[in-house]
Structure 1
């Protein structure tokens, strides 16, 4: 079974994370020694964490390594044969239930048997994403799974096999494994309309993320198809965390013409929406949540969800990456994992 290496400060460049016993190419290490004004032997001792090296000397050598962007992995590259046994996985946040479940699925995937899975979070920050990706690539991983942030990714040019998960990235021609977000959201709206609702509120997260844009488009398309107005006060598409989603829910309920149903289009939003409805005693409001989550089936009423199965996406992405590693020349593809709407009670309430 794969083991997960949850990278911390070493991956974002705040320290070098050197381990003992590192062997490097002497010609490369010589550059470091010369720039730091020390002998080749001293530079090697610093790299191997010899405690006898003076503190100021150690700091000077390590600073040169940072400045020259030398890491043990990149220095040892010329001595390595074959491909590393690790794959990288870069997601928005491993604290997000969707991505944590996806990471678990990737780790369990048979295609990753015997491999380590190096995991890092971008927190939705494009600059951090670039730093993390470049650090991962410097470790000479055999492949990478990336849930990209918003924005252009034409900067990412690599021969390392790459598969995008959950969403595509502008400027990057790569395999994508996810779901049909627009169609899945439209189906959720259809379900609420079939149960008599016409004023359907919408709560979602980052409007710049491709999945969020697609879900909002699906909501608007379905509302229009049913001849329903998309009332701007009913749309809260900028709720990046549970607290902002909770505030949006309170605002929706306090309007003169509150909705009779609510669609939460992101798991992190649902973690704010659901407790707020219960706290306000408004469990009579119809609710459909995008993404299943813990306790959703135990609440009263049970929460109707669009199950976009992070586990299925993760497993499919791991398999596609294994194919890409084995056959680098295969055509780029986009795979949509099937979704299902699970009726549990909240989405079947009538106005």
Structure 2
């Protein structure tokens, strides 16, 4: 770094500011330092920086499942933003077993990171309270429980309400709900949106049309086929997550129910190419990741700044052919 400073004709502190992307560095100083860095093939010694600061030049991301397209896209967006700031991203998968969350997240935190973005899967995140004085924490997709912290979520209730209202508008009165466990905040809010849409339309809820606790695509597929084989089957299906939808559509088609109107909470690759294409509540995982990373760095740089704790992102409905198909 001293050699870079000598060649650029600046102080070592100015070199450090350029490397750390300090906004108060003049354009001329930045140009000279970057030119000297290129000529000398200088790379920062991250290990030395870690020893000086006592922290890794990295943030942590804890999500349920990297194979899930929603969380994969979200993590990719966070990584791109962190990389633009010269930071690495350490990612861990939490799975769906809440009992594992604390151990996996704290294992990540012991790396002495500068920030954490996490999706709650357990019923209690109060174990993170001792960490809050040392590290910026933002929750994504679901709000935390028993701790006050920033979160970035989507309008789960509003999106589900709009989806069911859309089906009702097409004349459907027997609408099935298939989803994950209601202990998951996203599923609970989508189920409430489903129920509120039925109630506001003057329709009685039929408990026989609700299938919850279906975690895997195969479980959701089996639930859909079972519903359609009932004596009084639904005329339409609301799938509360894209993972479930990926299992439901081929299962219904294989069982001869190819034209069952369906709305999915969450789009997925090639969904528009399916015949008939499913209507979707369009989640935007990249926007969630971007908002979460932006908030995390706001907290890191201005820890005492007053900001509203929860950011709720809208989820528009994209109408496709499936809702207008033949009814069972």
2:139/2:151 contact within 8 Å kept: yes
Q: Distance in 1 between matches of 2:189 and 2:83?
A: 30
Q: Which moved more, 1:207-216 or 1:78-87?
A: 78-87
Number of the residue aligned with 2:6:
none
Quick one: which of 291, 295, 315 aligns to 1:316? 291
2:101/2:122 contact within 8 Å kept: no
CA RMSD between the two structures: 1.8
Could you state the TM-score of these two structures normalised by the residue count of structure 2?
Answer: 0.80
Number of the residue aligned with 2:34:
none
Number of the residue aligned with 2:45:
none
Please state which structure has a larger fraction of its residues in helix. 2
3-state DSSP of counterpart to 1:93: coil
Gaps of 5+ in 2: 1-47
1:102/1:311 contact within 8 Å kept: yes
Q: Distance in 2 between matches of 1:189 and 1:143?
A: 38
Quick one: which of 218, 236, 247 aligns to 2:222? 247
1:152/1:169 contact within 8 Å kept: yes
2:82/2:89 contact within 8 Å kept: no
Aligned residues: 276
2:55/2:111 contact within 8 Å kept: no
2:217/2:243 contact within 8 Å kept: yes
Q: Distance in 2 between matches of 1:112 and 1:337?
A: 24
User: Residue 124 in 1 paired to residue 96 in 2?
Assistant: yes
Q: CA deviation at 1:79?
A: 3.7
Gaps of 5+ in 1: 1-75
Q: How does 1:3-152 map to 2 (within 5 A)?
A: 79-81=51-53, 83-109=55-81, 112-152=84-124
Could you state the TM-score of these two structures normalised by the residue count of structure 1?
Answer: 0.75
Q: Deviations over 1:297-337 (max 9, x none)?
A: 10111121101111111111111111111111123521111
3-state DSSP of counterpart to 1:297: helix
Number of the residue aligned with 1:60:
none
Q: CA deviation at 1:82?
A: 6.3
Q: CA deviation at 1:273?
A: 0.6
Q: CA deviation at 1:280?
A: 1.8
2:117/2:296 contact within 8 Å kept: yes
Number of the residue aligned with 1:64:
none
Q: CA deviation at 1:223?
A: 0.7
Q: Distance in 1 between matches of 2:83 and 2:190?
A: 31
Q: Deviations over 1:79-101 (max 9, x none)?
A: 43265321100011111111111
3-state DSSP of counterpart to 2:166: helix
Q: CA deviation at 1:265?
A: 0.4
Runs of 4 or more, structure 1, over 6 Å off, are none
